[in-house]
Each structure stands twice: as structure tokens, then as C-alpha cells.
Amino acid sequence: MDLPEEATCHFCHKVLYGGRSDRKFCNDTCRNAYNRNRRKAEAAYVSESQQELIIRVLKRNYRILEKFNPLHQYSVIADRTEMHGLGFFFNYFTGCEQLADGTLRYFCFEHYWEEREYGLVELGVDESKLEVVYDL
């Protein structure tokens, strides 16, 4: 014998008795909880696309560092403004280390840069920074 499918609450999944045939929730508590969860899920989706945006910024930073230091040399001097003009964001990096002399070395994967005077940066490469990724 086929029974008509029982309507259940979208939030707690209890069977709904009575009320309008298009009823979706037991009460306002379940309705509010359901809407709260949905908003939370939507917020998580937005933050995921923001993560993708940051990953794009890091990849562009990487391409610019490759352009300025294609042979992966040490002590390559570059102009901060020129890098910024190509779309480099100095506040996005994959790691940061303080050297013995206090200098901050910012990493974008194996590439790094250090701030120098007169709007210049010194570029270099530390291939060991890639090994960390393989240890995960």
C-alpha cells in the first residue's frame, strides 16, 4: 500500500502534522535555525571565493618575481614601484622570516624579497622553502 510521503521539517526532519500542505517547519524556532544555517553556509561560500582571490594574488606575485629573477639568483635588486605597477602586492606572501640582523625576508614560495633603501627590494631564492610543502 502506498502512503503519501509525509512532510518533514526542513530543519529537524520531524514529521509535520496538520497545518497547510506547504508547511516546511515545525515552528519559528526551526525556521530561524534553518535560515541561520543557510546564511552561515552562504558566508562560507563568499570566504571561499575570497581565498581564491588571495591565491590569484600570490600566483601573480610569483609570476612577477619570476620575471624579475628568472635565473633564481641572489641579491637581485628591483624597484618596488615598478613591481607594484605590474600588480605586485607586497602585503601578500607565503611566509616571513627575520634574519639575524633584524631584516624581514618575505617569501612567495621559493622566491623572497627584502626591503632596501630608496624604494628598492633585494630578491633571492631559497629552494628549501619548497620542501615544507612536500612534508605536509
The residues that touch Zn ion, with contacts defined as CB under 5 A, are 9, 11-12, 26, 30
Is 126 exposed, middle or buried, given 0-12, 13-18 or 19+ CB atoms closer than 10 A? Answer: middle
How far apart are CB 18 and Zn ion at their closest, in Å?
14
**9 or 108: whose CB is closer to Zn ion?**
9
Cα separation of the two ends of the chain: 56
At closest approach, how far in Å is the CB of 35 from Zn ion?
Answer: 13
Judged by beta carbon, residue 25 or residue 113, the one nearer Zn ion is 25
- Cα–Cα distance, 127 to 136 (Å, whole number): 16
Closest distance between Zn ion and the C-beta of residue 44, in Å?
A: 23
